[in-house]
Amino acid sequence: MRIVVTGGAGFIGSHLTDALINQGHKVVVIDNFITGSRKNLEHLKDSDHLMIVEHDITKPIYLAEKIDRIYHLASPASPIDYQKLPIQTLKVGALGTHNILGMAKNHNARILLASTSEVYGDPEEHPQKETYWGHVNPIGPRGCYDESKRFAEAIVVAYRDYHKVDTRIIRIFNTYGPRMRLNDGRVVPAFISQILHQHDITIFGDGSQTRSFCYVSDLVRGIMGVMEAGDQNPINLGNPSEITIKEFAEKVISITGSESKLVYQPLPVDDPQRRRPDITRAREIVGWEPKISLEEGLINTLKWAKENV
């Protein structure tokens, strides 16, 4: 097939691009490189199965050759990025998604929206099911990202119902692995970067808040599975194994043999206290669940990070 991946130079997008090309598909990556990196695709530079289009999808784009599938991943995704780029984040969720849905409609292509667990906000339901509507502060520091994804889901459903576009929606929970930017502010690269630079590890709050970490290869397998499944309603993709931030920091220290200590800072505004997906739908519809253990995934990520610091 000929497949478009928006945000294909990003962390998850580049791994997805690898997997699609490995299956023999031709991939068109559309990226404006605001947060993505050409380095993530450098190993594919000689592939005749990859075309890179540098473009801001908040502006209209037309591709003449037939497209079969669209994976819409484009968006700043880390707190540092979307708080630095709040308007761009809102525009890519709204205008960008609108433009890419137009492309899907024009080509009669199936489109998958990469949404986020952030649509649940600081959840009052635990674990989070897809039926949960969320607990989101639209004017808080995370609002630009949360609401851009909530709007994106709404317009995808509108195009599905009004224009009969063939759509899929996934909600991605915390994902980690090689190619994460070590300065993007998310917990896994932050801890790894601090340890590799022999700094103490910064924990916000008392460390009792929880996250569920999914390795990137597991996530990509889930994304591709949902695209080819028949269900058009949102599907959570993430690891249901929950761990506190303090426990996670201690695990990273143990794996690396680091002498870093834990230091504590005030908790950011609207930082979710608990985050864990209910993946019942992913199991039933796609037959998907994570396979890579946290320890194995961290060892792989650390190996990559040591070579790229």
C-beta separation of 145 from 76 below 8 A: yes
Cite the beta strand spans of 121-242 per DSSP E.
Answer: 167-172, 175-176, 201-204, 210-211, 214-215, 235-237
Return the amino acid letter for 98.
H
Give the pLDDT confidence score for residue 181 in this predicted structure: 86
**What percent of the chain stands above pLDDT 70?**
99
Residue 4 Cα distances to 19, 27, 98, angstroms: 13, 6, 15
**What percent of the chain stands above pLDDT 90?**
76
Give the pLDDT confidence score for residue 270 in this predicted structure: 67
Whole-angstrom Cα distance, residue 205 to residue 278? 25
Residue, of 283 and 79, whose pLDDT is higher: 283
159 counts as catalytic = no
| Candidate from 186-190, 219-223, 286-290 with smallest mean pLDDT | 186-190
C-beta separation of 99 from 123 below 8 A: no
Per-residue pLDDT of 133-186, as tens digits, reads: 999 999 998 999 999 999 999 999 999 999 999 999 999 999 999 999 877 778
Domain 2-177+214-240+275-291: give its CATH superfamily. NAD(P)-binding Rossmann-like Domain (3.40.50.720)
Whole-angstrom Cα distance, residue 51 to residue 31? 11
Count of C-beta atoms within a 10 Å radius of residue 296: 11
Structural domain boundaries of the chain? 2-177+214-240+275-291, 187-209+242-273+300-308
Give the pLDDT confidence score for residue 68 in this predicted structure: 98
Looking at every residue in the chain, the average pLDDT score rounds to 94
Whole-angstrom Cα distance, residue 124 to residue 163? 34
Which is it for strands 201-204 and 235-237: parallel, antiparallel or unpaired?
unpaired
Count of C-beta atoms within a 10 Å radius of residue 172: 22
Whole-angstrom Cα distance, residue 271 to residue 208? 12
Residue, of 282 and 209, whose pLDDT is higher: 282
The answer to whether domain 187-209+242-273+300-308 has CATH 3.90.25.10 is yes
Per-residue pLDDT of 250-263, as tens digits, reads: 998 888 888 889 99
Supply 81's token pair. Answer: 């990025």
Q: Quick one: how far is CA 178 from the chain centroid?
A: 13
Whole-angstrom Cα distance, residue 107 to residue 18? 23
Task: State the DSSP code for 277.
Answer: B
User: DSSP alpha helices (H): ranges in 61-142?
Assistant: 79-84, 86-91, 97-107
Name the pLDDT band for 87 (thresholds 50, 70, 90).
very high
Name the pLDDT band for 309 (thresholds 50, 70, 90).
low
pLDDT at 62 over 90: yes
Name the burial class of residue 16, with classes exposed (0-12), middle (13-18) and buried (19+) by CB atoms within 10 angstroms of its CB. buried
C-beta separation of 160 from 102 below 8 A: no
Supply 224's token pair. Answer: 């591709």
Q: Which residue of the set 71, 145, 159, 215 is catalytic?
A: 145
Residue 143 Cα distances to 30, 174, 271, 296, angstroms: 25, 18, 11, 34
Which is it for strands 167-172 and 110-116: parallel, antiparallel or unpaired?
parallel
Whole-angstrom Cα distance, residue 191 to residue 177? 13
